[in-house]
Structure 1
């Protein structure tokens, strides 16, 4: 599951894998802005942190036990999802899409257009 999720995130236009917190965690960025952080917690569980609209974030937390406020992140705008199979992979892909879109939407128009319409 983890490999599919990483692969999916890296297929987003302009996505770049980085390791600013060491080799044990993967941060996926677009234009220098993080939209996904994948790491192993102290209980040896794989976690992905994703940016999320606050209303959608609250709904996802109600829907899934393993979607929680973002670990070491702004709890209002980030969710942590435990990658243990309890959240369907397709739903995690949707969450990655949403996180990416939120980050891209905040980029300057010229950069946003270059990502969305590469020449």
Structure 2
């Protein structure tokens, strides 16, 4: 998936997720997506290419990095809990959708029940 397409697709997926806001706390070159004040996705091209940074379960992140050369440890983030998606390789739209959704759900499941915009156990997981 090419860079602009990668970021555009990630943005489109985020628009389908309840309770998401976009902020720019690190400047205009960083799009920071949050749910209930917690970051779950960042977009930037500060590295010279348009990248997507998402939260991932440590085991899943490790497996993804081993399977896809276009997935690396999270740029400027905790390398165990975040991954970076790079353009130009074999990343499929479905995988990008799944990674954005899973990042969102990882954050939501750590929120107090009363603040959760969705039930992380059932949201988007019934078809999987």
Q: What is the DSSP-based 3-state SS (H/G/I as helix, E as strand, rest coil) of the residue aligned with 2:28?
A: coil
* Alignment RMSD (CA, Å): 1.3
Match of 1:64 in 2: 68
What's the CA shift string for 1:14-70, capped at 9, x where partnerless? 01111111111101100000000000133x211111000000000100110010111
Unaligned runs of 5+ in 2: 120-128
Distance in 1 (CA, whole Å) between partners of 2:34 and 2:15 is 9
Is 2:10 aligned against 1:8?
no
CA-CA distance at 1:90 after TM superposition:
1.2
Q: Which residue of 2 aligns with 1:100?
A: 104
1:9-48 map, 5 Å: 9-42=14-47, 44-48=48-52
Is the helix fraction higher in 1 or 2? 1
Structure 2 length normalisation: TM-score?
Answer: 0.83
SS at match of 2:21: strand
Task: Show structure 1 runs of 5+ residues with no match.
Answer: none
* Structure 1 match to 2:118: 116
How many pairs align? 114
Higher relative contact order (CA 8 A, sep 6+): 2
1:73 aligns to 2:103 (yes or no): no
TM-score of the aligned structures, taking structure 1 as reference length: 0.89
